[in-house]
Amino acid sequence: MDEQEFMRGRVYGADHEDAGPRPGRAYAQLVGGPLDGLLLDVTDRPAQEARAVLALRTELGAFGPGGRALYGPADAGGRRLGWQGDAP
């Protein structure tokens, strides 16, 4: 099993011991790029931010440790965020 397959269905930024989704929370799926398959907790995200591009820290992107993967809306409902590239 590769690293991306291991992470699939886990919540971005969650504790490694308990990285699964929690009841009562809303999640968007990260699609493509180094964080493909992870879930992002969007429960408290303001509506105007739903259209923004997010820079999420990752060691798996083109810039290695300290780099960021850029994800933006991939569907009208905001339940999928598509990879748009990497940034330092």
- Count of domains in the chain? 1
Tokens 């699609």 -> residue? 31
Mean pLDDT over the full length of the chain: 86
H or E, element range at 3: helix 3-7
Residue 75 is predicted with a pLDDT of 86
Structural domain of residue 61, as residue ranges?
A: 3-87
H or E, element range at 28: strand 27-31
Residue 55 is predicted with a pLDDT of 96
**How many CB atoms neighbour CB 33 within 10 A?**
22
Instruction: Give the mean model confidence (pLDDT) for residues 81-87.
Output: 97
Which class for 12: exposed (0-12), middle (13-18), buried (19 or more C-beta within 10 A)? buried
**How far is Cα 52 from Cα 2, in angstroms, rounded to an integer?**
30
Question: Is residue 70 scored above 90 in pLDDT?
Answer: yes
